[in-house]
Amino acid sequence: MPKEITNNAETALQQVQSPRAAALLPALTLQDLSYRAQVLDAFISRTLKDGVDYDVIPGTPKPSLLQPGAEKCQMLFGWTPKFVIEEKIEQWDEPAFFYYRVTCQIWAGDRLLGDRQASCNSHESKYRYRWVPEAEIPPYLDRATLIKRDGILSEPQFAVAKGETQGKYGKPAEYWQQFKDAIAKKTARQGERETAKGGKMLTWEIDGSLWRVPNPDIADQHNTIIQMAQKRAHVAAIKMVANLSERFTMDQEEEQPPVYQGESAPPLPLDIPEPKVAKRQAAAQVQSMAGSVPPEPLPSMRMQSSMPTGTILAETPQQAAAMNLQSVLASLTSRQSVIDTFVRFKAECLDKVLGNSDAVYTRILGQHGVETAGDLKSPAVAKACFTDLWNEYQVAKTAPPADDAWEQHVKAEEAQHG
């Protein structure tokens, strides 16, 4: 456009006096817009860093703006974000579920420049599920029904060297052998991990197989889910108000191979199919511990016999219960399997016959010197503790109903006091 026409247009805009007309005309001159674009170009090229403030995701036409980049842009213009939770669902009881829809408003002083909404919920695959190696699959899940994929196994170097099969880092010997074989073949990779105290821990990483299982600690993701909803709304609002859509797309997360970091790190929530079948099978498996009913075969096995060739069927409920107890004890090979089994048994067996089994559960754990199942020092101690719980359950099942017991108590008091 010729410079003369541009100058005439800007002069005409500046001469508009009517408020009604001014509302339909640009708030900035072309010179201001040009200067603003130059500032943004310089800001992006000189300040923003690839891989930190923005990232290139394969298959996307433009780089993705990340939260650090949005925060730097906010600082450049002196804006202030304000977050409003528009809608929330907080279901703490099982099955736990959390949902948040958040609005991020961008303010310049007392002037609202724009806003954007975003949401996050605990049914998103990366929060609802996690990936684990074969040794960490809970005993009440059928491995044949779980989705498997290639991933990365990561363990502290000192744990690999010791190869412990008990304690905090205890895993089956064949699990540690994978690392030792890879180290000998020079296919293992050295890495590092942050410790709880902020230090660094050297690790060995190897390629391996991981299985997708339900995340048992959804409530632990509660604060993360709120922050993720705020982050999504914030990046979207900054991108819109700063006119960065031409340069960036939304913050997108590139799918990476799942990483299992052993017992020293919290479980990583990753995707897996709907867990309703797994929950139903878990309940049936726990019932079978007490010899009540046999576990229901999984859908994929309904047309097949779930009884291995040569299995001797128990003739009495007591024999069946003993056989089921032994199979459960044999599955207590890792800290995670102990936690999963104890928690499920308490909820599905003890609580059902005792109403609230907290006192009994705590007392029996205390007899073995721990407060929680995760503190049990070895599979042998865990098996002894679980056997005590199982025996307590058998006694509770044969006790008279609560109403009968109360009536007996009342009669005894009346007989004593006439």
Span 8-62, pLDDT tens digits: 555 555 555 566 666 677 778 888 888 888 988 899 999 999 889 988 877 677 8
**CA contacts within 13 A on the Cβ side of 10:** 14
Residue type, 165: T
Distance CA 390, CA 350 (A): 9
93 pLDDT more than 80: yes
Say what the pLDDT of residue 252 is: 54
Distance CA 229, CA 100 (A): 7
In this structure, the number of other CB atoms found within 10 A of the CB of residue 30 comes to 14
Q: Is 307 helix (H, G, I), strand (E, B) or coil?
A: coil
User: DSSP class of residue 224?
Assistant: H
Confidence of residue 159 (pLDDT cuts 50, 70, 90): confident
363 pLDDT more than 60: yes
Q: Which of 2-16, 328-342, 386-400 has the lowest average pLDDT?
A: 2-16
234 pLDDT more than 50: yes
**Which residues have a Cβ under 8 Å from the Cβ of 284 and sit 6 or more positions away?**
293, 294, 295, 296
Confidence of residue 3 (pLDDT cuts 50, 70, 90): low
Say what the pLDDT of residue 171 is: 84
Return the top range by mean pLDDT from 97-111, 131-145, 366-380: 97-111
- Burial 31-56, CB ≥16 within 10 A → b, else e: eeeeeeeeebeebbeeebeeeebbbe
Average pLDDT, integer, range 166-181: 86
How far CA 234 is from CA of 1, 85, 97, 105, in Å, comes to 37, 13, 23, 8
Whether residue 214 contacts residue 272, with contact meaning beta carbons closer than 8 Å, is answered with yes
- Stronger pLDDT, 114 or 344, i.e. the higher one: 114
Instruction: Retrieve residue 144's tokens.
Output: 């044949």
CA 200 to chain centre: 24
Say what the pLDDT of residue 8 is: 56
Global pTM value: 0.53
416 pLDDT more than 70: no
Span 200-210, pLDDT tens digits: 889 999 998 89
Please give the share of the chain, as a percent, with pLDDT higher than 90: 24
Secondary structure (DSSP) of 321-376: HHHHHHHHHHH--SHHHHHHHHHHHIIIIIHHHHS--HHHHHHHHHHTT-SSGGG-
Pick from 244, 242, 171, 236: which is nearest to 208 by CA? 171
Q: With DSSP H G I counted as helix, E B as strand and the rest as coil, what are the percentages for the chain, rounded to 5?
A: 45, 20, 35
- Average pLDDT score, the chain: 76
Average pLDDT, integer, range 89-94: 89
Say what the pLDDT of residue 16 is: 52
Say what the pLDDT of residue 241 is: 93
Range list of β-strands (E), 176-314:
189-194, 200-214, 259-260
266 pLDDT more than 50: no
Distance CA 255, CA 268 (A): 14
Whether residue 329 contacts residue 386, with contact meaning beta carbons closer than 8 Å, is answered with yes
Confidence of residue 103 (pLDDT cuts 50, 70, 90): very high
Instruction: Retrieve residue 161's tokens.
Output: 């060297």
268 pLDDT more than 50: no
Average pLDDT, integer, range 140-160: 88
- Stronger pLDDT, 82 or 133, i.e. the higher one: 82
Distance CA 115, CA 45 (A): 26
- Stronger pLDDT, 274 or 338, i.e. the higher one: 338
228 pLDDT more than 80: yes
354 pLDDT more than 90: no
Longest CA–CA span in the chain (Å) reads: 115
Whether residue 273 contacts residue 149, with contact meaning beta carbons closer than 8 Å, is answered with no
Return the top range by mean pLDDT from 40-54, 187-201, 349-363: 40-54
Average pLDDT, integer, range 213-237: 93
In this structure, the number of other CB atoms found within 10 A of the CB of residue 19 comes to 7
294 pLDDT more than 70: no
